[in-house]
Structure 1
Amino acid sequence: MDNNKITRKNPANMPEPVGNYTHITKIPRGAELFVTSGQVGVDQNGQFPDKMNEQIQHTFANIRKVLAAEGLSSKDIIKVNIWAVEPIDWDFLYSEWEQLFSSEYPAMTVAYITALGLPEIKIEIEIWAAKA
């Protein structure tokens, strides 16, 4: 195993993940850590679409932009926290997820809550990344 690389695994003695994530993501010693604020579904004009899936599209676009600003890619993402105020269309979210991650998934937590920072926000996604 390469000790200078981010590694992801699902221990054999555990159930398989119930979604597209990994149980454990290991960050090598000396890696640089990046933590984003929660990214939301706002467009370039500061507007929030009414539909959840449109907010999901904008959220993933904003994630790509914030990663690019630091020279990061999806391979550097180690943890994703997702908060939503209404049911997520998982087929739609996973279509965006697959475009971003392909098959090497980070650790993930999902929570449904009653409200986010502004009443028009339906979903917020926080990214933790490390550059090894």
Structure 2
Amino acid sequence: MSSETLSRAILPEGWPLPRGYANGMVAEGRVLVTGGLVGWDENGVFAKGFLPQLERTFLNIKAVVEAGGGRIEDIVRMTWYVTDMEAYRSSLKELGPVYRGVLGRHFPAMAVVQVVSLVEPEALVEIEATAVIA
């Protein structure tokens, strides 16, 4: 690993290349862990709809990671909690450009889990992120 990029994706031999995530990551540095971040702005106002909330959540993740001295490329894991898996699945084509618009082409290890509800009643998605910062 170079000093510029202290993390890299892990792909076991013979496994197919994952699309939009990594099977695993290895990293060196200080660990930054976010809380569950949701799709509201700095005033607590939620974006309307699944994709707008997702975009706002990505912006919030970026803000926290950067405030901690990191970069998007330092994120090694994200766990997504969605209240409607079908909304997630049916928006995959549109989700890619939204994701790349904020997080670029950096795809850490990820999991997407459907939950019955989230603490914030208006939230459709909540994401926890882990970054390893040089």
TM-score range, shorter chain: 0.7 to 0.9
Q: State how many pairs are aligned.
A: 129
Deviation at 1:120, TM superposition (A): 1.0
Matching residue of 2:66: 68
- Inter-CA distance 82–25: structure 2 relative to 1 (3 Å threshold): same
- Kindly provide the amino acid, as one letter, of the partner of residue 57 in structure 1: E
Q: Give unmatched runs, 5+ long, in structure 2.
A: none
* TM-score, normalization by structure 2: 0.84
Q: Contact (CA 8 Å) 2:11, 2:23: kept in 1 or not?
A: yes
Could you tell me which residue of structure 1 aligns to residue 129 of structure 2? Answer: 127
Deviations 1:25-47 (A, max 9, x none): 0013xx11010001101123212
* 1:50-94 CA-partner distances (Å, limit 9, x unpaired): 311221121112112111211211110000111100221222332
Greater helix share, structure number: 2
- Aligned residue type for 1:82: W
Match of 1:37 in 2: 35
Q: CA deviation at 1:16?
A: 2.8
- Fraction of identical pairs, as percent: 29
User: TM-score normalised to the size of structure 1?
Assistant: 0.85
Distance 1:101 1:52, change over 3 A: closer
Measure the CA separation in 1 of the matches of 2:104 and 2:48.
28
**Contact 2:55 / 2:99 at 8 angstroms: preserved in 1?**
no
* Paired amino acid for 1:115: S
In structure 1, runs of 5+ residues without a counterpart are none
CA RMSD after TM alignment: 2.0
1:14 corresponding residue in structure 2: 15
Separation in 1, partners of 2:13, 2:6 = 21
